[in-house]
Amino acid sequence: MLKLKSKFLNIGAGRAVVLLNKDDAEELSVHMSDRVILKCGKKSKTAIVDLSEKGVAKGEIGLFNEVKKEISGCKGRVIEVHVAEKPESVQYIKKKLDGAELKQKEMDAIISDVVNDRLSDVELSTFVAASYIRGYSIDETAALTTAIFNMGEGIDFGNKVVDKHCIGGVAGNRTTLLVVPIIASVGLKMPKTSSRSITSPAGTADTMEVLAPVSHSVKKIQKMVKEVGACIVWTGAVNLAPADDKIIRVRHPLSLDPQGMLLASIMAKKKSVGSDFVVIDIPVGKGAKIADINQGKELGHKFIELGKKIGIEVDCLITDGSQPIGIGIGPALEARDILLALQGKGPQDLVGKACDLAGKLLEMVGKAQKGEGKAMAQEILNSGQADRKMREIIKAQGGNSRIKPEDIKIGPEKAVVKSKASGKIKHIDNKLIARIAKTAGAPKDKSAGMDLHVSSGEDVHIGDALFTVYAKSKEKLREAIVLANKLPAVELGGIILEEIE
């Protein structure tokens, strides 16, 4: 044990990390990524070791932001630093690496250590890699789902709570903002927690934030759902699945997406809000996350089976993921599409898909007979019920319930990209279209993105508009147009820039 003077560092690491001088580390016999226990008065915290020769002097210990929060009030005070043993969960990670199946108590131990920052980046990365290489049985997936759920803060909304989820990969796919008001308008509860974009031009939370604030406390969310039956809020503002957030932090840079972790991540969050009925949207097609329909069906069966094991009724829809949905791509443009759709003027592919999903939920809860759900959802939309309910949700979340499509601010700089050739459009690549919209500034700049003017299968002629790009600045617009001219975004004769307005 050593007694070291604390030094607060204004550095965030995403986990509990301390900085030791190499001489002090040698005296403690600890190395990079080892663990230490910090004690300051009655406060105690386990942290991962980083080493430095100059960042802290001998006799000092540097505390990163995540540690400061846990032992606030200890700035400048002497802290006891004890060597910590490796957690037992490390043995379970090795067990998984060897190909063995993990039991519930073993998964619980791993997830507990993930949440409490007792695993180093190397150990957590090994857990993700082992999961990717060895795969999970359905029992292991259920164990991981339960472990993630148990370490979060669940919200109780009572009975008959419904939800939906899309596995992603399709640009413009903002069906949630139509499904939620359709479902809530018939008296069902739909507390929708959604993510911000990680790799796309807009996440559901990014788009909803154009219409209303999405960061709310658990107490406020409960109040909103009690009053209007639904909400569309950002998952990151509530502590539903902290373990999942930490695992994603490692999965993303490694580009590893173990199927068992994908299933557990989604279903743990559904369980955390007390979902009784969930519909999963699985887009399939060229350019989507899943290209083969049989793979899509297999994933759907696993969602349904996992739901049975954790007490949630699940159904899945295999949908067309071969091209973007709707017209607008980017938060503001997608929010405009939603308001138009609620008024019966929106993109028909977006409306049709939303009614498919909402219809399935209406059938699952017994509000509609089998095969009649989509027609009921469409009628709710046509009648204006969904529009009125969405405005109630917007108002409850602190937005302007009288907002009109034309009130939404779109990037002032724009350019129309036209076809260089005549022919039939074979394919519009989701990933390439997303790259152009992101280069224009989406989703950070909510007003940026693009409007698609064509879809797969359409005939076009030389000079026909393919899409319009919007940006906040001429510089961002030019960057997006340069990229558009380099990429085969539409498999036709090519694309050209007409003008910058």
Q: What residues are annotated to the active site?
A: 257
Q: Is 384 helix (H, G, I), strand (E, B) or coil?
A: coil
Max alpha carbon distance in the chain (Å)? Answer: 77
DSSP code of residue 353 = H
CA atoms within a 13 Å half-sphere pointing along the CA-CB vector of 1: 8
d(CA 15, CA 32): 15
CA angle centred on 220, ends 215 and 224, rounded to 5°: 105
Q: What is the dihedral of CA 164, 167, 170, 172, to 10 degrees?
A: 30
Q: Residues 119, 84: contact at Cβ < 8 Å?
A: no
3-state SS, 204-253, equals: HHHHHHHHCCCCCCHHHHHHHHHHHCEEEEEHHHCCCCHHHHHHHHHHHH
Q: Residues 225, 189: contact at Cβ < 8 Å?
A: yes
How many residues can be counted in the chain? 501
CA atoms within a 13 Å half-sphere pointing along the CA-CB vector of 411: 36
Number of Cβ within 10 Å of residue 193's Cβ equals 24
The distance of Cα 442 from the centroid of its chain, to the nearest Å, equals 16
Give every CB contact of residue 177 below 8 A, 6+ residues apart in sequence: 204, 207, 208, 232, 335, 338, 390
Burial of 80: CB neighbours in 10 Å, binned 0-12, 13-18, 19+: middle
DSSP code of residue 103 = P
CA angle centred on 376, ends 372 and 377, rounded to 5°: 120
d(CA 479, CA 500): 12
Round the CA-based radius of gyration of the chain to a whole number and report it: 25
Joined together, the tokens standing for residue 34 give 């080892």
Pairing verdict, β 459-460 and 423-424: antiparallel
